[in-house]
Every structure is written in structure tokens, then in C-alpha cells.
Amino acid sequence: MKRKGSNQRRHQAVGTAEAAAVDPLTDLGLNSKVLVLNKVYMALRVVSAKRAFTLLSRDAAEIIHVEQGHFTNYDFSSWLEISELQRQFEPEAHDWVRTVRMHIAVPRVIRLLGYDRVPAQGVKLNRRNLFARDRNRCQYCGRFFTTNELSIDHVEPRAQGGPDTWENLVCACLRCNARKGGRTPEQANMKLVRRPVRPKRNPMISLRMGRDKYESWKAFLDEAYWSVELK
């Protein structure tokens, strides 16, 4: 592990980060997602690039760049210099934020410098995570739908004592949900595509890790122990 940085461009770095946070010329790179680690390199949460740049400009975090299984630590001023080279030689490998001064590569991972709490285990049970776990797929007919075409179904109906748990809730299209009604799948002569289970990590993270650009996250996500809260 190496750390690279200098103070030569400190004022420029802060000014550029602030510009990236508020300047109307910035592009959709600010909506890219960045994995946040605590001080001891445990994954905490995922934030927008805009939030990540704010933390970097305040010296509350540093950038962790992962390449071929090795990672390097950069302060923000150094990352500006690296971005100039990345823009020249591998622009397609990064998301970009455009400011009035330059283009900045969006980092995939940052580390908080003063936060060493252990991340809470467990994944929040909410509509967004449930749809992500089931990948917007009706768990009865197997078809994929947009979010507004899906509902949440209790496999064992509430009227029969069914709980609000990961193991008893699934995505269902409106048609299948109406067909099933207040019955169990067996009573309605319907079959589940797969048995619902509690995810080991935040399903939104799993979806993103399927994309090549978030490959570096895998180095910091241990499925057996850590789950990541999406904010």
C-alpha cells in the first residue's frame, strides 16, 4: 500500500471540489456512486460522487484507487493530477465531473480519516431493497416489470398470521397479486420462482457490483461479515 500526495495544489483542490458540488456545468458524474470505508478499511455505505467530493474537500476522506489487486491512497490534490492523466489515457474507464477548470475522475472508493466505528450488520427491510433483491421480477409469473408495475406480496398472508420479514415478502406484479389475493401460493395454485431469503449484503450493492466499473468494491466487501447501508 502506498500513499501519494502533496500540498502544492491544496487551494485549487478545495476550490475545484466546491465547484464540482455547486457549478451548473457539472455533468451526471455527480450521480455516480462511491463506496465509503471507515478508517480501518471496513465498508460503511455508498454515497453519491457529490457527497464524496464534499468529504474530500474538507480533508475528511482520502481516495483509495484499486488496480490489479493493489490499492493506493491519494489526497484530493494528488487525485486532480492523476485525473489529468486518466482523462488523457483511459477516459472510458471512469465517470467524470466537469468543472469550470478541469475534468475530475470520480473515485470508486474513499476512506474516512477520522471514523473507525464498525459498520452495523444487517440489511434494512424496505421497498427499495426488496425490489433490488428480486431484481424487479415478479416472483410468481417470472416477468420483469418497472417499479410502478410491482407490488409487495406476503407469501403467507397477513390475515393468516404472515409476518413482515425478508422470508415472507416478495415482489409481485399487480395481476399476480390480485390473482393470489389473501391466499397462500398453494391455496391459489401458484408457485414461487424462488424461495425468499434475507440477503447477506445490501442488494443494491450486489446489483452495482455486477457492473465492471464497480469491480474495485469487491476488495472491501466480505459477504460473510459486512453489509453496506445505502444512503
Per-residue pLDDT of the chain (231 residues), as tens digits, is 555 544 545 555 555 554 444 444 345 688 888 999 999 888 888 889 999 999 999 999 999 998 877 889 999 999 988 898 888 888 888 888 988 888 899 999 999 998 766 656 667 888 888 998 998 999 999 999 998 999 999 999 999 999 999 999 999 999 999 999 999 999 999 999 999 998 876 665 655 555 666 777 777 775 433 444 444
Q: For residue 127, what is the enclosing H or E element?
A: helix 127-133
What is the structure's pLDDT at 202?
64
Output phi, psi for 114, to 5 deg. Answer: -125, 20
Domain ranges for the chain, please list them.
Answer: 2-118+204-230, 127-180
Burial of residue 212, with CB atoms counted within 10 A of its CB: 0-12 exposed, 13-18 middle, 19 or more buried = exposed
Axis crossing angle, helix 76-89 with helix 10-22, rounded to the nearest 10? 70
User: Which pTM was predicted?
Assistant: 0.56
Q: Which amino acid is at 26?
A: T
CATH architecture classification, 127-180? Orthogonal Bundle (1.10)
